[in-house]
Structure 1
């Protein structure tokens, strides 16, 4: 089995903190999620997460005007310069202090950062050449008395406006000008959120947090007692060069004054964020109550306002065309893109409010279901990364979710004492399973036929069985003396396995006369279990860090893998012992088999996920889910310089004390409340995985972690994996063979080179009439590779009939080989099945739409005929 899984995407979290940014073409939105950056493609309806990681949570990001360079700065002021299209890190930089704002010049040659109460302008490093000292400081600007909040450049890249918490805005020039002093814009009574130039750069707008909007224009006349008269301009020598300088830099030498003052007049509301679009003169403002509004300047004409969230809007951005607006709300993790002209949502996504507890792949591998502490069940599309439905029926934390193997049904178990069944066609909760006495469910299993669902309880230590068709309670299985931590049906459906904290595993004959069997004793409290795909073996995870493999027929433990050293890692800030001696992170809480049953995937209370080989009993690979130092458990050793008599300085909760808003500093949470409500958390979140699962195709696996739903895939698009190569086997030789009409030889050569673009070109050049002959003559060694390519091709291209013809020909010609090597071919066939099911769903939807349209046309025709007949009858009567 291949183990070169690479991080592919982060779902379940769409926005955490920082600022959201549009790409220059306006088709995508960049959103910081923890210490990563996710890109949401609004046109193709897909999302991807860039592969790099910052050291801590990202504070601000900026994208260059040409869309090539992305700069990402974390909470400590450590920056990464990233090649945006490739996702590779080019340079590292430490600004030595938290950075509050970053902005590129419109020409892309410089970028400015807010560095405390100073502003620094740096030369933009080249993304084409590797430089020894890439970051070169151009100038540092002073003048503000408090932290700089925002930076905005003029379209000529000569000037920039800064705003600060000292209730002023200031105008600076990129390069020194003769006789110029930075202009200060005062008069506001609260922090200035933003300042912008108009399109013609003859007007400046400033917005403060208390809801005041000031319009600044050039003063027409200056009185003798006017203290704003700038003597530096009057003292300039009257030479032609100085006159030309004043003419070229009108913005810098203008005497600015307030012409109008406007107010939003929103009761008990603060301005949280704002932006301005010069081409359309639209001012977009987000308020602390979750309302945003649009005003047309300079007349301050309200366009419309809308409430989009229950919490403060943290960030706002506008696309280059001014059509789309992006909003981020950090407290709820919401990301929204709004088209203001049509007043409709382009994108509306929200992750789980708190931790994600469990996940499950759909049988075709297209969708992923997740359950969280917020009591919501969400469905995510595995390819696009978007959530397309949310079920909010549960009133407590979700403990387990499972798909039915047949039919579009999803089951969920919760601590609220119910198991619910959801119809994935109509997206509704069609069945709710309850017990005679209230219990809390912590495990769930569905038999392969989808007729019986079982749930294990946390407090009564019993297993409850219901009929899905009738919703009636069929049986209660008793025998465990501790919470039932895991349930799993065998693939044949005739046995149910359960694990418990009473250090035992039990096998139940669900449909036979003898229900209970002798318990199988394991070494410690069992935390999870899973059936082998062939149903002959069980893997059980225990609290002492072991993976025990149980023979189902004999009821005995055949082998044990000791995984304590493999899973152990990461020390929390409040731990009094090192990670090597801490027992809390040395066990697995979730296990899953690979699609072919050769390996076991296991995750637990640490930052690692491990893959073990079943036959050899050795670790194949270990994955670290996060390197974010803002989370607990990512460091192996603590910094001794931060250890004081009061404890670790990182453990002190000083986030609320640093907030500037009074409502953010107030603590409204209950004493000891850590989760479950919208109170402010008083502790750092811990890097861990609560559930791991393999997809049915075996090409990817997912982990429900603290940061969201992490998806790892076998990305062969970037890896060169040839075999049977020779010196004369080149892309030019393949194309020459193809031009001569030797399609079979060209296909085999392309499969040997295994270059995706070349293989696609050869594949699509084969005439449909020759497909059956070529499939029959293809050597069997290339059949799995070609089938996998067909499955990938079917998902990404519109050649429906051509791919189906190839699929039928390959299955007809090589069916016997696939039956003999079904264990090896299972992932390939599942991927092929997934693509064919995608065809079926899209064509079925198209047929339904066409049938509806035809029925409507026919009904209208009949209606017209009836009207004509009635008119004819009336004429006959009269």
Structure 2
């Protein structure tokens, strides 16, 4: 099994805090998700997460006009410069102060950032004359405000910028020192100035304050200072020489929103004069300026709109709400949502893959179940019928039915075609269910209780409680059915594991005696062995038939346990979380992966009992357990400085109010009085064997095998080049061209040869293909078929590959498991619906085909329709 897994995507979290940024074409949206950045492709309905991490949550994002550089800054002022095209980190820099706003100039030569009460302007990193890369060169620091600067806005010609501040003023600055006389203070507001904007002509400035006042400023003469008739000629000539002497920015119009809510964020589109304002009660409004005409007024919930942005065309609006982790993209002209996503409100408890590996289902303490699409990264559906925390989810074998267990005392079955709850299973009395398992045949579903220590069995068809299995003397921690047979394994805190024959007459079992509390259990895909994770940090492998232990893995030395901020001891001396809460077998049963409350995911080889690879879950220092060494400078006699509540010193009333419960770990993640802890509550391998998913504090993390190798010489020869491959293809030696492209391993070249092979030659090429290239051919076909429009062409390839090499594939199943899963995904998602639609419309096709033959001009006024294969006689149709 390959072990080169790398972080590929982050699901389950769409927005946490900070600002949203549209790309220049408006088709992609950048959103900060904790200490990472996710890019949503709104046109192609896909998303990806950048691989790099900040040490703390991201506060601001900026993208230059050319879309080559992206600058992200965390809450401490540490910045990372990234090549946006290649996603490569170029430079790290520390601004040493909290950054409230950061904006690139429209020409892309400078960027301005608001640090404290100063505005810093820096040159955009580029190559200097001597070809030395100069990452950050500061142009100038601008002062003048008496309180924190809240925003910076550039003019369209990149000569001027406006800064807004908490001192209730706005200031105009020029980028160049020879225009210093332009600097001016715009005062008059009675609350914080949230944002200021230039209009398209740069002759009008709009300033917006927190109390809902919008002032319009114009560059006009001072009133009452026009020249009078009694002024002598000398003064008059002086005024003519300096016409701008009495010109100044003045308020010409005052507008008010008349809302009880405070303004939280705002944006302005100069080309269409569209103003968008978000309030702290979840309402957002659209106005047309300068008439201040209200266009729309909508709400995205009861929580504050933290950020808003508009794309260059002025059609799409992006809103982010940090309280619920909600992200919206709204098209205001059609009044429809382009994107509407929200992560889990609370901790994720469990996850499971669909049988074809295309979807992941997550369950959370907030009582919701979410279905995520792996390819797009978006949430497809949310089920919220449970009234308590959902503890386990499991798919039926065919993948269209999902089962879930909850602390509310119910087990529910969900139809993933109609997206509804169609079965509800309950016990004779209300008990909290902590684990769940589904029989491979889909006939029965079982759930374990943490209260009565019993296992409950229901019939899926009738929803009747069939039996109750007793024997455990502690809470049931995990249940698992064998995939090849219907044996049920149960693990408990009473230090035993029991194996049950659910469909047998006798339910008496002899327990496997374990030396510690059993936390998790996993059964090998062939149902011959099971793995048990215990509280003492061991993973023991048991043979089910002989009830003997065959392997023992000591994981205590491999688990990375970081320090909590209140710890008075080092991480090395910590005994916290030295065990795995969740484990899972790989597709071939040769490896096992485990994770728990530590900051590590460990992959082991079972045969040698050796650690293959260890993955760090997160580097976010705002989570407990991610640091091995704490900063002693922040430790005091009364405790760490980070735990001191400084909310009472905030300048805003809404920031001083505290609605959290002291010491509460549950509820709103943004309003708890303790720091969240890094942990992985559930982990699972993908059925396609090329990825695994981990439900962590940061979200649903997907790790996949790195297949981005462009040049992988396989039996490479000197004469094999892309040019030679194309020459061979032109000579119609298709098999040789295909093998040469596989040896070069250039994806575009394989694709070109693949689609150039005529349909008539596909059976011959498939039959003559050497088996050494068979797995790579199936893998390529399965990946391409999911996105290719040539469905029939791909089906022909799959059909002839399987018919020609089916016997060999059957004898080497473990070798082709991954590629066969990809083909299964293609057939179930794309091919089956199309073929079923074709069968339904079979008679319509026949009717249209006959009508086409009848109306063809070659046949004159009469048509002889050919006899059908079922023995019908020919029909002669004349016009008269």
Which category of TM-score, normalised to the shorter sequence, fits these structures? Answer: over 0.9
2:730 aligned with 1:730? no
> In structure 2, what is the Cα distance between the partners aligned to 1:467 and 1:158?
73
TM-score, length basis structure 1? 0.92
C-alpha deviations, 1:29-52, integer Å up to 9, x for none?
100000100011110111111111
- Structure 1 residue 711: deviation in Å? 0.6
> In structure 2, what is the Cα distance between the partners aligned to 1:809 and 1:544?
53
From 784, 803, 822, the counterpart of 1:831 = 822
Q: Report the counterpart of residue 110 of structure 1 in structure 2.
A: 110
Q: Report the counterpart of residue 191 of structure 2 in structure 1.
A: 190
> In structure 2, what is the Cα distance between the partners aligned to 1:805 and 1:7?
35
SS of equivalent residue, structure 1 residue 470: coil
For these two proteins, the number of residue pairs brought into alignment is: 838
SS of equivalent residue, structure 2 residue 801: helix
2:323 aligned with 1:331? yes
> In structure 2, what is the Cα distance between the partners aligned to 1:852 and 1:422?
35
Q: How does 1:351-750 map to 2 (within 5 A)?
A: 351-654=343-646, 656-657=647-648, 659-676=650-667, 680-750=671-741
Query: Which ranges of structure 2 fall in alignment gaps of 5 or more residues?
Result: 228-234, 849-880
Q: Report the counterpart of residue 16 of structure 2 in structure 1.
A: 16
> In structure 1, what is the Cα distance between the partners aligned to 2:734 and 2:236?
83
> In structure 2, what is the Cα distance between the partners aligned to 1:112 and 1:235?
42
Q: Report the counterpart of residue 305 of structure 1 in structure 2.
A: 297
> In structure 1, what is the Cα distance between the partners aligned to 2:342 and 2:264?
20
Q: Report the counterpart of residue 863 of structure 1 in structure 2.
A: none
> In structure 1, what is the Cα distance between the partners aligned to 2:236 and 2:69?
43
SS of equivalent residue, structure 2 residue 93: strand
From 769, 781, 801, the counterpart of 2:772 = 781
SS of equivalent residue, structure 2 residue 673: coil
> In structure 2, what is the Cα distance between the partners aligned to 1:130 and 1:687?
43
What root-mean-square deviation, in Å, do the aligned CA atoms of Structure 1 and Structure 2 show? Answer: 2.4
Query: Closer, same or farther in 2 for the Cα pair 1:841/1:353, shift >3 Å?
Result: farther
From 785, 789, 810, the counterpart of 1:798 = 789
SS of equivalent residue, structure 1 residue 255: strand
Q: Is the Cα contact below 8 Å between 2:660 and 2:673 reproduced in 1?
A: no
Q: Report the counterpart of residue 231 of structure 1 in structure 2.
A: none
SS of equivalent residue, structure 2 residue 43: coil
2:85 aligned with 1:85? yes
> In structure 1, what is the Cα distance between the partners aligned to 2:750 and 2:195?
52
Q: Is the Cα contact below 8 Å between 1:90 and 1:127 reproduced in 2?
A: no
SS of equivalent residue, structure 1 residue 782: helix
Q: Is the Cα contact below 8 Å between 2:346 and 2:669 reproduced in 1?
A: no
> In structure 2, what is the Cα distance between the partners aligned to 1:569 and 1:849?
59
Q: Is the Cα contact below 8 Å between 2:523 and 2:531 reproduced in 1?
A: yes
C-alpha deviations, 1:806-857, integer Å up to 9, x for none?
1011111111111111122112211111112121355269669989999xx9
> In structure 2, what is the Cα distance between the partners aligned to 1:756 and 1:84?
23
Q: Is the Cα contact below 8 Å between 1:688 and 1:705 reproduced in 2?
A: yes
SS of equivalent residue, structure 1 residue 345: strand
Query: Closer, same or farther in 2 for the Cα pair 1:198/1:236, shift >3 Å?
Result: farther
2:251 aligned with 1:258? yes
> In structure 1, what is the Cα distance between the partners aligned to 2:135 and 2:471?
68
Q: Is the Cα contact below 8 Å between 2:222 and 2:247 reproduced in 1?
A: no
> In structure 2, what is the Cα distance between the partners aligned to 1:496 and 1:236?
102
> In structure 2, what is the Cα distance between the partners aligned to 1:254 and 1:224?
10
Q: Report the counterpart of residue 864 of structure 1 in structure 2.
A: none
Q: Is the Cα contact below 8 Å between 2:484 and 2:525 reproduced in 1?
A: no
Q: Report the counterpart of residue 860 of structure 1 in structure 2.
A: none
Query: Closer, same or farther in 2 for the Cα pair 1:193/1:844, shift >3 Å?
Result: farther
C-alpha deviations, 1:122-145, integer Å up to 9, x for none?
000028998454200011100011
> In structure 1, what is the Cα distance between the partners aligned to 2:127 and 2:833?
41
SS of equivalent residue, structure 1 residue 610: strand
> In structure 1, what is the Cα distance between the partners aligned to 2:841 and 2:58?
48
SS of equivalent residue, structure 1 residue 830: helix
2:47 aligned with 1:54? no
SS of equivalent residue, structure 1 residue 103: strand
- Structure 1 residue 595: deviation in Å? 1.2
Which stretch of structure 1 is more off in the superposition, 581-590 or 377-386? 581-590
> In structure 2, what is the Cα distance between the partners aligned to 1:98 and 1:843?
55
- Structure 1 residue 323: deviation in Å? 0.1
> In structure 1, what is the Cα distance between the partners aligned to 2:17 and 2:236?
48
Which stretch of structure 1 is more off in the superposition, 575-584 or 334-343? 575-584
Query: Closer, same or farther in 2 for the Cα pair 1:434/1:659, shift >3 Å?
Result: farther
Q: Is the Cα contact below 8 Å between 1:406 and 1:449 reproduced in 2?
A: no
Q: Report the counterpart of residue 205 of structure 2 in structure 1.
A: 204
TM-score, length basis structure 2? 0.92
- Structure 1 residue 709: deviation in Å? 0.5
Q: How does 1:747-762 map to 2 (within 5 A)?
A: 747-762=738-753
Query: Closer, same or farther in 2 for the Cα pair 1:822/1:33, shift >3 Å?
Result: same
Query: Which ranges of structure 1 fall in alignment gaps of 5 or more residues?
Result: 227-233, 858-878
Q: Is the Cα contact below 8 Å between 1:449 and 1:493 reproduced in 2?
A: no
- Structure 1 residue 4: deviation in Å? 0.9
Which stretch of structure 1 is more off in the superposition, 338-347 or 590-599? 590-599
- Structure 1 residue 566: deviation in Å? 1.0
Q: How does 1:166-181 map to 2 (within 5 A)?
A: 166-178=167-179, 180-181=181-182
> In structure 1, what is the Cα distance between the partners aligned to 2:466 and 2:30?
51
C-alpha deviations, 1:381-428, integer Å up to 9, x for none?
010000011001111111111111125111111111111111111111
Which stretch of structure 1 is more off in the superposition, 458-467 or 727-736? 727-736
Q: Is the Cα contact below 8 Å between 2:35 and 2:58 reproduced in 1?
A: yes
Query: Closer, same or farther in 2 for the Cα pair 1:608/1:538, shift >3 Å?
Result: same
SS of equivalent residue, structure 1 residue 784: helix
Q: Report the counterpart of residue 866 of structure 2 in structure 1.
A: none
SS of equivalent residue, structure 1 residue 612: strand
- Structure 1 residue 674: deviation in Å? 2.7
> In structure 2, what is the Cα distance between the partners aligned to 1:645 and 1:341?
59
Q: Is the Cα contact below 8 Å between 1:717 and 1:756 reproduced in 2?
A: no
- Structure 1 residue 237: deviation in Å? 9.8
Query: Closer, same or farther in 2 for the Cα pair 1:449/1:130, shift >3 Å?
Result: farther
> In structure 2, what is the Cα distance between the partners aligned to 1:178 and 1:629?
44
Q: Report the counterpart of residue 36 of structure 1 in structure 2.
A: 36
> In structure 1, what is the Cα distance between the partners aligned to 2:699 and 2:24?
28
> In structure 2, what is the Cα distance between the partners aligned to 1:606 and 1:585?
6
C-alpha deviations, 1:256-298, integer Å up to 9, x for none?
111111111112x000000100001011000000010000001
SS of equivalent residue, structure 1 residue 796: coil
> In structure 2, what is the Cα distance between the partners aligned to 1:75 and 1:302?
35
Which stretch of structure 1 is more off in the superposition, 517-526 or 138-147? 517-526
Which stretch of structure 1 is more off in the superposition, 673-682 or 512-521? 673-682
Q: Is the Cα contact below 8 Å between 2:147 and 2:167 reproduced in 1?
A: yes
Q: Is the Cα contact below 8 Å between 1:670 and 1:679 reproduced in 2?
A: no
2:274 aligned with 1:273? no
Q: Report the counterpart of residue 95 of structure 1 in structure 2.
A: 95
Query: Closer, same or farther in 2 for the Cα pair 1:198/1:475, shift >3 Å?
Result: same
> In structure 1, what is the Cα distance between the partners aligned to 2:307 and 2:220?
34
